[in-house]
Amino acid sequence: MSNLKLEKRITAELDGIKKLAAFLPNGKANALLNKCAKIGAYARKGQALIEAPQGSLFPREVHAGDINTNEDIAARYVARRAIFEAMKSRKVSLEDAERFRVSQMHTQIHCIRREIQDKQLPWVLCDEAVKRPGRRGYKRYWLIPKEDAV
């Protein structure tokens, strides 16, 4: 049991507010009482989180994108290489993420861009914005040889 009595302190303050609600017109008083009830519910949930045993409420789940093993690191490297090779011959976008088995395509593009700069590879990473009606915009990426970029 925790020494922090969050629910008790909030409930005491809410009781004071509820007493003041008696001096308001009915509609405003009811609206205030409803808000107080919601705050009280949040306080109960907060107190339950405080008193819960450590790690019991939200056990850590392992997701496919977590890097915990050498296999995960190798899979990311293979995916980045596949994206790099594909960009040499065609345009790729977020829509290709599933094909390359990556959850965050923009992260892979960033890593490729950084690798081109750091290793001074003979490629230029190009991009274009794509906007379609009723859809959020995204970018397409492709590579061109540096000598063609001039």
pLDDT for 123? 93
Q: Are residues 140 and 89 in the same domain?
A: yes
Residue 1 confidence (pLDDT): 47
In this structure, the answer to whether residues 80 and 24 fall within a common structural domain is no
Domain extent at residue 90: 70-149
Residue 84 clears pLDDT 90, i.e. is over it: yes
Q: What is the pLDDT of residue 14?
A: 92
What is the tally of structural domains in the chain?
2
Q: Which two tokens stand for residue 32?
A: 């205030």
Residues 145 and 101 in one domain: yes
The pLDDT assigned to 127 comes to 93
Identify whether the C-beta of residue 94 lies closer than 8 Å to the C-beta of residue 137. no
Look at the pTM and tell me if it is higher than 0.85: no
The mean per-residue pLDDT over the stretch 98-102 comes to 87
Residue 61 within any structural domain of the chain: no
Same domain membership, residue 89 and residue 134:
yes
Determine the pLDDT at residue 104: 83
Digit-coded pLDDT (tens) for 17-61: 999 999 999 999 999 999 999 999 888 888 887 777 665 555 556
Q: What is the 3-state secondary structure (H, E, C) of the chain?
A: CCCCCHHHHHHHHHHHHHHHHCCCCHHHHHHHHHHHHHHHHHHHHHHHHHHCCCCCCCCCCCCCCCCCCHHHHHHHHHHHHHHHHHHHHCCEEHHHHHHHCCCCHHHHHHHHHHHHHHCCCCEEEEEEEECCCCCCCEEEEEEEEHHHHC
Is the model's pLDDT at 87 over the cut of 70?
A: yes
Q: For 106-122, what is each residue's pLDDT tens digit?
A: 899 999 999 999 999 99
Give the span between the Cα atoms of 12 and 149, in whole angstroms: 70
Distance CA 53, CA 72 (A): 31
Q: Are residues 112 and 44 in the same domain?
A: no
